[in-house]
A and B are shown apart, each in its own frame.
Chain A
Amino acid sequence: MNAANEQTGIEVNSLSKRYRRGTVANDGISLAIAPGECFGMLGPNGAGKTTLVRQITGELTPSSGQIRVFGIDAVKRPKEARRLLGIVPQEAGLFDYLTVREHLLYFGRLKGLKGESLANRVKRLMRELTLEEHGEKRASELSGGFKRKVLVGIAMLSRPRALILDEPTTGLDPHARREVWELVRRCQQDEVGVLLTTHYMEEAECLSDRIGIISQGQLLAVGTMQELRERITSRFKLTYTPTDSDGLNHERVTVYGRSVDELRARVNALQLEEYDLAKTNLEDIYLELTESPLTLEADHDTMAQ
Chain B
Amino acid sequence: MTPWLNDTYVLFAIESKRFTRQAAIFVINSLIAAAAFFLFRLVADPPPEVELRLLAGAIVFGVAMQSINATGQIMVSERFEGQMKLFRTSSISQASYVVAVTIFSAATAAMTSLVVLGLAAAAGVHLSLSPLLIPLIVLTALALPGFAVLIATHAKTAQAGYMLSNAVGIMLVMISPIFYPIDRLPEALQWLARLSPFTHAGQAIHETLSGGTAILVPVCILLAFTVAANAIGIAKMRWREP
Contacts and interface: CB of A to CB of B under 8 A. Distances in A.
Interface stretch (B13-21, B31-39, B113-121, B224-232): B13-21
Given A95-B83, A110-B7, A89 B89 contact: yes
A111 B93 CA distance: 12
B17 A97 contact: yes
A155 B21 CA distance: 25
Contact of A89 (B11, B13, B82, B242): B82
Interface in A69-101: 79, 82-83, 85, 87, 89, 91-95, 97-98
Interface residues of B, number: 26
A95 B14 contact: yes
B91 A79 contact: yes
Contact of B91 (A60, A82, A94): A82
A92 B14 contact: no
A82 B87 CA distance: 12
B81 interface: yes
A59 B86 CA distance: 11
Contacts of A19: 242
Given A92-B82, A97-B22, A112-B3, A102 B17 contact: yes
Nearest to B11: A110
A57 B88 CA distance: 9
B240 interface: yes
A291 to B, nearest CB: 30
Nearest to B87: A110
Nearest to A154: B86
A interface, over-half SS? loop
Interface string B65-88: 000000000000000011101111
B21 A82 contact: no
Interface residues of A, number: 31
B83 A106 contact: no
A83 B90 CA distance: 8
A102 B20 CA distance: 14
Interface string B1-28: 0010011001101100110011000000
Contacts of B242: 19-20
Nearest to B21: A97
B85 A110 contact: no
Interface in A89-134: 89, 91-95, 97-98, 102, 106-107, 109-112
B86 A89 contact: yes
A130 to B, nearest CB: 21
A280 B32 CA distance: 67
B91 A106 contact: no
Given A59-B240, A106-B10, A89 B85 contact: yes
Contact of A110 (B10, B21, B83, B240): B10
A98 to B, nearest CB: 6
Interface in B153-210: none
B221 interface: no
Nearest to B89: A87
B18 A97 contact: yes
Interface of B: 3, 6-7, 10-11, 13-14, 17-18, 21-22, 81-83, 85-93, 240-242
Interface of A: 19-20, 57-61, 79, 82-83, 85, 87, 89, 91-95, 97-98, 102, 106-107, 109-112, 138, 151, 154-155
**Chain A to chain B: the 4 pairs with minimum beta-carbon distance, closest first:** A93-B82, A97-B21, A87-B89, A93-B81
Given A59-B241, A93-B85, A106-B13, 9 more contacts: A61-B240, A93-B81, A93-B86, A94-B83, A97-B17, A97-B18, A107-B86, A112-B3, A154-B86
16 contacts: A59-B85, A59-B89, A59-B240, A92-B83, A93-B82, A93-B85, A93-B86, A95-B17, A97-B21, A97-B22, A98-B17, A106-B14, A107-B90, A110-B90, A110-B91, A155-B89
